[in-house]
Copies of this chain bind each other. A is one copy, B any other.
Amino acid sequence: MALIVHKYGGTSMGSSERIKNVAQRVAKWQAAGHQMVVVPSAMSGETNRLIALAKEIQPQPDGRELDMICATGEQVSVGLLAMALKAQGVDAVSYAGWQVPVRTDNAFTKARIQSIDDERVRRDLDAGRVVIITGFQGIDGDGNITTLGRGGSDTSAVAVAAALKAEECLIYTDVDGVYTTDPRVVPEARRLEKVTFEEMLEMASLGSKVLQIRSVEFAGKYKVKTRVLSSLTPPDIPLAQEAASGTLITFEEDNSMEQAVISGIAFNRDEAKITVLNVPDRPGIAYQILGPVAEANIDVDMIIQNASSKGMTDFSFTVHRNEYQAALAVLNEQVKEVIKAGEIAGDPKIAKVSVVGIGMRSHVGIASLMFRTLSEERINIQMISTSEIKISVVIEDKYMELAVRALHKAFGLDQPAV
């Protein structure tokens, strides 16, 4: 017998029939002897409906009041799921975040969880009840309702699992796991049975949007075994089969893991690159360039500065493509003259492709294999950035699919794991 946390997204909670399916699945796990905690999202479309309503009244909604309103979506979900379980003869009880309580800071609409009390929940579990807790929300030190921001229910589920020291946190979603790359680009893409949380972090932030990135950070920080699996399997499939499906995010580089050096190829073409040419290479220059960009609320992703030559260097970074023009304007108006830069150049037609893998740490030659593969396809590399477990390159966007397919094959990701 173990304590298990299930998380279900808005699609799984989207109608009374689907809610009954969720209840059937949870009941199956409880019948197998597990103590069950369930964290559901709001019914699909509900949070958007509430936000639209709020914006009709106040185009820039007040954060506290918006949280008051949006938190109701999950509150309805937990009540309905408790009813669905009771209707199937399983004792259950629902809690809003403030009832547990799930304590957060007071950053309305994007609060962070600080602590979760487990006393009340444990009492119910010991009494044989399924406990259902609202995702996405908590209570701040002044008793105000807070929400964690979009996708926050993943984070809630992992945080609850951490607080209860759950055996595993299962995130049911509309994909059946984490893949070596996007199957729509590479049909040979394989589902990973396991992935480390560091790899998952790199994959998530690079656009493999299976899990909210903060939930992955939480899982890593508290070493919560988290599994991403399909909510589309019939609720009555054998438990052993379901429990082994999907992708497990582990926090150990254990030896039983797949020995692949690279776990996956991530990519996106949402970015644009900007280069400030002929910048005097002196202390503070990076801040002088990026300070005004940050003040304009423009997020920056990759930042690259080459070694200087003759006291001058080129400074490049990428921004979201939607903010490309705004970033150029900031640089031309506020930066160029001040730092006496040469020219501001830019290109929105780029793509970023990354190879990600925890095995990279102890293997040489990953970078050279990557660069050789791209070279053989005659794809020019415009920028390179590396981390401990990731190498990213910026290329012309029309070569993105070609690069991803070539790299996927070169790193043997289309071969079954040994």
Give chain A's interface residues, CB within 8 Å of chain B: 16, 19-20, 50, 53-54, 56-58, 61-62, 64-66, 68-69, 71-72, 75-76, 78-80, 82-84, 86-87, 93-94, 96, 98-99, 143-145
Contacts and interface: CB of A to CB of B under 8 A. Distances in A.
Q: Which 10 A-B pairs have the closest CB atoms?
A: A72-B72, A69-B79, A68-B79, A16-B56, A58-B83, A65-B79, A58-B87, A65-B82, A57-B83, A57-B84
A86 to B, nearest CB: 5
Nearest to A87: B58
Contacts of A54: 79-80, 83
Given A16-B53, A56-B16, A65 B94 contact: yes
A66 B79 contact: yes
A68 B80 CA distance: 9
Given A16-B53, A57-B19, A72-B72, A83 B99 contact: no
B80 A72 contact: no
A266 to B, nearest CB: 38
A20 B54 CA distance: 12
Main secondary structure on A side of the interface with B: helix
Contacts of A50: 76
Given A65-B80, A68-B75, A68-B82, 9 more contacts: A50-B76, A53-B80, A57-B80, A57-B83, A58-B86, A62-B82, A62-B86, A68-B96, A99-B144
Contacts of A98: 98
A64 B79 CA distance: 8
Contact of A83 (B61, B71, B78, B94): B61
A87 B16 contact: no
Contacts of A62: 82-83, 86
Given A65-B82, A83-B62, A57 B20 contact: yes
B65 A72 contact: no
Contacts of A57: 16, 19-20, 80, 83-84, 87
Given A53-B16, A53-B80, A80-B53, A69 B75 contact: yes
Nearest to A98: B98
